[in-house]
Structure 1
Amino acid sequence: MQSIQDKNQIPWPTISALFLGSFVTFACLYSTQPLIPLFSEQFQVSPAAASLSVSLATGFMAVFMLIASWLSDARGRKVIMGGSLLATAVLQVFIGFSPNFTWLLVLRAVQGIMVAGFPAIAMAYIAEEFDPAISGLVMGIYISGNSVGGLTGRMVVGAVTDFFSWQSAMLSLGFICLAAGLWFWFTLPDSHNFSPRPRAVLTILRVMGNTIRKPPLLLLNLIGFLVMGSFVTVYNYIGYPLMAPPYNLSHTVVGLIFVIYLVGTFSSTWLGRLAITCGRARVLLLAIGIMATGGLISSGTGLALKIGGVAVFTFGFFGCYSVVSSWVGQCAGNDKAAASSLYLLFHYTGASVIGAWGGQFLGEYGWNGIVALTVAALLLALLLLAVLFLYTRKKEAAVYPQLR
């Protein structure tokens, strides 16, 4: 068999395995998001409690990604990634048999731990195993699995729930992901350019500590916390107003709302390129402003305003994600792996903390409470961006001479 480093032949089976791994991760991670209003009604819990079905999974994933990365250095890449995907899919099936809401939350927390093993390692595998001539293509296909998996998982769950039940939806998605996980396990080659290199936990923590003490990286992590938290909060609770009078939309239609994610394919690319000519700080200011504007538009009462506002909000978010992610890499120096891990930790912790807190605002103030919370978080992000700009303006001017 040819090495997957051979740039003269694109190894599509290997690339498909990575795509499906990404698909499984994000299809399962956000599979309960369109069901949050249903959980409130069926289990008689508050919106904040119902949102824990998402927040617990993302929170535990954020923490255990660091551990998964450490384990992969000691045990190898494929075994951790493959085990993560299969365990995630099996747990998705088990969730369909949850006898009550407590068991559902327990299983989602365990699933968050298991799912951490794939995203923590996949990008390292790609960087190590693929020829640079095709690594960009592979990374692009891998990242597309994130959005395709997240979108498909939500739509499948919404449609199956409408026709059968949420339990059937979890089972259906679980079996789909189990098939994808098995394809990954039997198709992905073992690492050729990686040898296990165990590192002491204290060494890793020391590197993390040194990284987070850099003011630009700390500020970028906090901005990521606030931006991702706002984004997940909007999508956690948008189903409540849309499924209530006067809209009365079905689970299937609400699931289709997530098609709006596709605008991010354009905005992440467009705003990422715009940052090259206009500077990262200015484009990040624009992207956060677009998010806040979209949130305010969604406070309108018309259905078109609600959906249009969420679309504008989503457009801005993916631009933020693109710019902040690249900026973290630029500020990291020689500690890019540690910086990326910390950024993901803040990123998904924001999704858990603000996402769960949003339920309190929804319960007290309705959808306008969600808008107020997310806009306030984004204003705080703008304040942090101003501080970040003061720290980095000389470097920005050197990178982008047109800004002098």
Structure 2
Amino acid sequence: MPSADTGASTVVAATSPVPDSDSRLTPGGPGYRRMSFALFLAGVATFALLYSTQALLPLISSGFAVSASAASWTVAAATGGLALFVLPMSALSERFGRRTVMTASLVVAVSLGVLVPFAPSLGALVALRFLQGAALAGLPASATAYLAEEVRPKALVTAIGLFVAGNSVGGMSGRVITGWVAQEWGWRVAVGVIGVIAVGCAIAFRLLLPAPRHFTPGSLRPRVLARTVRDHLANPLLCRLYAIGALFMTVFGGVYTVIGYRLTEAPFSLPQGIIGSIFLVYLVGTVSASTAGRLVGRLGRRGALYLAGGTTAAGLVVSLADSLPLVLLGLVLITAGFFAGHAVASSAVSKTATTGRAQASALYQSAYYIGSSTGSTVGAMAFHAGGWAGTVGVGVLAVAGVVTITVLGSRAARTQRALAPISPSGA
């Protein structure tokens, strides 16, 4: 029988706060800023190290007397190493913890960064870069899994957007700094400076990141891991998101691997320091990634992906002009579209996967960095064969793939709603 409704009980119900049983981090709450800044710094270190040679490719080409496509392997090897090792590293994070694996990855990566400037040949440099990428594989998937576990769902897109924003700052600062340092002292000193910066980021990350409170150790048994991966690959939505991440990164990897070569040639003929400063457009990516949550709130996930793809395609077309202001505008649009699309897709992976989040994120990161390696090599080959128009052609095809996959996702969602019109989960 229901209890009697008394005046006293009404007052208590009206004035007493409802207890919040969700102890995960939320914007404005204790620990959220420390967590955000720590992962921001991890993103800075990851992208600064991962792409430390990208703005220096013309100098590396001349230093080792190799072609653009050969020098591009210093980028492709690092991203390829990350793509190959991100899944095994995510499995280690399931067993030993996200923070432990992220810390170990940064320690190894910055230690290798000290050796990179002393590479005696292109082959040795490519090998060191591969190992550095493999070490960094412990960061991306573990970071997104950490956020999915420690941050409330409503704040997840924003939190991941801040981590991606750290990626953009790392990519920007690494390229700008290496450009100016290399102009005065050469590419070896430039990558050494990036290594020192990464050491500082790694130390601050370990001191700031809150200890995980919602992590439950998993199993390292290969059979369990294989079953988890199989389940994720059987999910059509996750597979579409993986493909979208790879295609966006194909555009980005190709454009930023080749742009230095284009700007050193006529009609631009820019010095290395100015070319490095071009990467300040990454700040646009910082903004677009950090606002991805609001974009999804207004347009929905697929609407946000359409906008990101359209913006990227427009930037590719504008960049064809032989005018430096228009080339810069094109890079701004490409960067904004890419980082928005990446933040939307990666956060959707974390929200879609209810189990094995580290593996789900690892598969996304693997596809993402395979796209980076593909974009770096194919973009450089296309530039060698057809100039900047060839690289743009590769990018346009990749964006067309993003739009096609998103259209297929929209149709699949409509079909699902039609088959289950009264199901609350049909949307």
Question: Which residues of 2 match residues 2-151 of structure 1 at below 5 A?
Answer: 9-10=30-31, 16-128=37-149, 141-151=162-172
> Which residue is 1:401 aligned to?
none
State the Cα distance separating 1:361 from its structure 2 match.
0.6
Give the conservation status (yes or no) of the 8 Å contact 1:4–1:11: no
- What is the distance in 2 between the residues matched to 1:204 and 1:192? 23
Question: Which residues of 2 match residues 134-283 of structure 1 at below 5 A?
Answer: 141-185=162-206, 188=209, 191=212, 193-194=214-215, 196-268=217-289, 272-283=293-304
Cα 1:147–1:97 change in 2 (3 A) is same
Is structure 2 residue 342 aligned with structure 1 residue 321? yes
State the one-letter code of the partner of 1:151.
M
Structure 2 residue runs of 5 or longer lacking an equivalent are 1-22, 422-426
State the one-letter code of the partner of 1:118.
L
1:203-225 deviations in whole A, cap 9, x for unaligned? 11212112212223222222221
State the one-letter code of the partner of 1:58.
T
1:60-82 deviations in whole A, cap 9, x for unaligned? 11221211111122233333222
State the one-letter code of the partner of 1:344.
Q
TM-score, with structure 1 as normaliser:
0.87
> Which residue is 2:424 aligned to?
none
Is structure 2 residue 323 aligned with structure 1 residue 302? yes
Cα 1:75–1:282 change in 2 (3 A) is closer
- What is the distance in 2 between the residues matched to 1:234 and 1:374? 8
- Which residue of the other structure, out of 343, 362, 371, is the alignment partner of 2:364? 343
Cα 1:89–1:160 change in 2 (3 A) is same
1:88-123 deviations in whole A, cap 9, x for unaligned? 112111001111111100000000111112223233
- What is the distance in 1 between the residues matched to 2:162 and 2:303? 29
When the two chains are superposed, the root-mean-square deviation of aligned CA atoms in Å is 3.2
Give the conservation status (yes or no) of the 8 Å contact 2:141–2:361: no
- What is the distance in 2 between the residues matched to 1:66 and 1:375? 29
Q: SS in structure 2 opposite 1:238?
A: helix
State the Cα distance separating 1:41 from its structure 2 match.
2.2
State the Cα distance separating 1:281 from its structure 2 match.
2.9
State the one-letter code of the partner of 1:209.
R
> Which residue is 1:364 aligned to?
385
Q: How many residues align?
A: 399
Cα 1:142–1:109 change in 2 (3 A) is same
State the Cα distance separating 1:302 from its structure 2 match.
1.1
Which 10-residue stretch deviates more, 210-219 or 264-273?
264-273
Cα 1:226–1:93 change in 2 (3 A) is same
> Which residue is 2:409 aligned to?
388
1:31-85 deviations in whole A, cap 9, x for unaligned? 1110112222222222222111111111111221211111122233333222211
> Which residue is 2:376 aligned to?
355
Give the conservation status (yes or no) of the 8 Å contact 2:172–2:281: no
State the Cα distance separating 1:299 from its structure 2 match.
0.8
State the one-letter code of the partner of 2:369.
Y
